[in-house]
Amino acid sequence: MVPCPTPRADPSSPGEGEPIVDLNCLDMANQTQVSEFVLLGLSEQPRQQQELLGLSCSLYLIGCLGNLLTILAIVSDPHLHSPMYFFLSNLSLLDVCFTSTTIPKMLLNHLRGLTTISSSACLVQMYFFIAFGAADSFLLSAMAYDRYLAICRPLHYLTIMSMLRCALLVAVPWILANVISMVHTILMTRLSFYTSRIPHFFCDINALIKLSCSDTHVNEMLMLVLGGSGVLVPFVCIMASYTPIAVAVWKVPSARGKWKAFSTCGSHLCVVSLFYGTIIGVYFNPASTHTTHGDMAATVMYTMVTPMLNPFIYSLRNRDLRGALRKLLSLNHLAKPL
């Protein structure tokens, strides 16, 4: 984070040679660089803030527990060692990492009676938030491709979805997501800020750009370009995968067969709708339509609610996973007296 630049003259202005002065930047020009930011939290009202913090803590604990149980159930049950559950376990791991980049820091600040975060920690938080979010997006498209092969090309499914291909479909999202996040983070270090007060509960890239008194055109352009590659491209790929799936399901003669085929995709479609619906609402709508409360509600939705709901959506709609979870919990219950 660098201090604000010195005002420069604009020869094209009516008063030739008169400097263009950003008063906010001018106030900062003679000060030291921003060393920490103030996170204003979920609400400006203390009582509402307390309630929302309690809700956030509950959502975080439930989400972590549900996702970790899903991973353990898949790992412990040999019947679930298939590509679909391999992707699901990675999605659960990503969800735990995604929520852990923001909520623990917010809760820790509350317990310590602080609202600050250092500029370096802010950049680290932003980096991992973007990386885990983008990896989540790419992985959802890989899962859609897996469902396409399972329904539209069932005879070749096991041949195509080899262990090497599964590993690549998980590794590539991680690599692409970290590249996207690194570019955003490096560009953020070039910006100056007229205030250190972030009207959010974490270091969101949108919130930081709005606080900058530097030229943010490059940051905003890359948000659209890289955001398109990280969100819209996977979303289009998911839609492209589900179009032939819908055609294949429609051709199934029996209603029971249609329901069975659709049930294998229903969970994934629910997760996709929740994840992309809220992210597109926050980051890809015109700025004039944004409100602080609306953006905050949508952000809470995809940072807390969606990761918490994912394991429940999959377990409620998947009989094999429910059985593995019951088996895991019963084994833990039997082992407890020992």
**Pairing of β 19-20 and β 36-39:** unpaired
Q: What's the confidence (pLDDT) of residue 287?
A: 55
Dihedral of the alpha carbons of 17, 18, 24, 25, in degrees to the nearest 10: 20
Structural tokens at position 132: 């885990």
Q: Per the CATH hierarchy, to which homologous superfamily does domain 22-126+133-313 belong?
A: Rhodopsin 7-helix transmembrane proteins (1.20.1070.10)
Q: Where in the chain are the domains?
A: 22-126+133-313
What's residue 293's pLDDT? 65
315 closest CA partner among 301, 302, 326, 303: 326
For residue 308, pLDDT beyond 90: no
Query: Is residue 97 a contact partner of residue 128, using CB atoms and an 8 Å limit?
Result: yes
Q: Which helix (H) or strand (E) holds 239?
A: helix 233-250
Write out pLDDT tens, residues 212-224.
888 888 988 888 8
Determine the angle formed by the axes of helices 119-152 and 255-283, rounding to 10 degrees: 160
Length of the chain: 338
Using one digit for the tens of pLDDT, what is the confidence trace for 237-289? Answer: 998 988 898 888 888 777 776 776 676 677 778 888 888 877 776 666 655 55
Q: Tell the residue number behind the tokens 């959506």, with chain if given.
A: 313
CA distances for 147 relative to 88, 240, 267, angstroms: 12, 12, 11
pLDDT for 14 equals: 45
69: closest CA among 247, 324, 338? 324
Q: Which amino acid is at 101?
A: T
Output the pTM of the full model.
0.82
pLDDT at 179 exceeding the cut of 50: yes
Q: Torsion-angle region of residue 116: left (phi > 0), alpha (psi -120 to 50) or beta?
A: beta
Residue appearing with tokens 């492209």: 240
Confidence of residue 290 (pLDDT cuts 50, 70, 90): low
pLDDT digits (tens, 9 = 90+) for 126-141: 999 999 999 999 999 9
Sign, CA dihedral 8-10-15-17, equals positive
DSSP state of 45: S
Query: Taking phi first (over 0 means left), then psi (-120 to 50 degrees means alpha), and beta for anything else, what does residue 102 get?
Result: alpha
What does the block give as tokens for 229?
Answer: 């590659």
